């Protein structure tokens, strides 16, 4: 009879532990952790038979750039890493180590994101994106 009590104590402990983990997981999955997001104007430019669309989103101290390139006659541009032929400056300071993440792709279109982290996003600052193509394209937004 002395061996039964520790077994029940362990069983109760493990049952409570599993219930706690399940409850915690459920709460984390259903917690609304969305940060306030501001969408800036979408800018469009057509060059070399390719259409470029850029939409910046301001999220706290972070800027997310959604870039879409559509081209039916110049498909080579769709296979390029666009981070290699653009320069992004924020308040006159160049941003390095850009990471182009493709989110959608087809034969005539590619869409992806570039995340600009750890920025002091405030009113009056300027975001400039220069594409080094022939000719150069410049997109700019005043926050």
Per-residue model confidence as pLDDT tens digits over 68-78: 999 888 878 88
Tell me which residue of 131, 107, 2 sits closest to 54, measured CA to CA. 131
Residue 119's pLDDT is: 76
Query: Exposure of 63 by Cβ count < 10 A (0-12 exposed, 13-18 middle, 19+ buried)?
Result: buried
- The DSSP symbol for 123 reads T
Look-up: residue for tokens 């800036």?
Answer: 40
> What is the residue extent of each domain of the chain?
1-33, 37-142
Q: Look at the domain 37-142 and name its fold.
A: Immunoglobulin-like (2.60.40)
pLDDT < 70 regions, the chain: 1-4, 27-35
Q: Which residues of 100-113 are buried (b: 16+ CB within 10 A; e: fewer)?
A: beeeeeeeebbebe
**Encoding tokens for residue 34?**
């969305």
Beta carbons of 81 and 100 less than 8 angstroms apart: yes
Residue 35's pLDDT is: 63
Q: Is 0.85 surpassed by the pTM of this model?
A: no
Return contacts of 29-36, CB within 8 angstroms, 24+ apart: 35/59, 35/60, 36/60
């Amino acid at each position: 009879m002395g061996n039964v009590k520790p077994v029940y104590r362990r069983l109760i402990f493990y049952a409570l532990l599993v219930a706690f983990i399940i409850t915690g997981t459920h709460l984390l999955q259903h917690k609304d952790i969305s940060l306030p997001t501001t969408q800036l104007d979408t800018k469009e430019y057509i060059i070399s038979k390719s259409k470029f669309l850029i939409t910046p989103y301001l999220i706290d101290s972070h800027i997310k750039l959604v870039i879409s390139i559509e081209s039916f006659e110049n498909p080579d541009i769709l296979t390029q890493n666009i981070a290699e032929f653009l320069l992004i400056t924020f308040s006159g300071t160049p941003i390095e180590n850009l990471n182009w993440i493709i989110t959608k792709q087809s034969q005539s279109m590619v869409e992806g994101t570039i995340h600009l982290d750890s920025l002091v996003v405030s009113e009056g600052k300027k975001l400039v994106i220069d594409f080094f193509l022939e000719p150069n394209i410049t997109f700019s937004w005043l926050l």
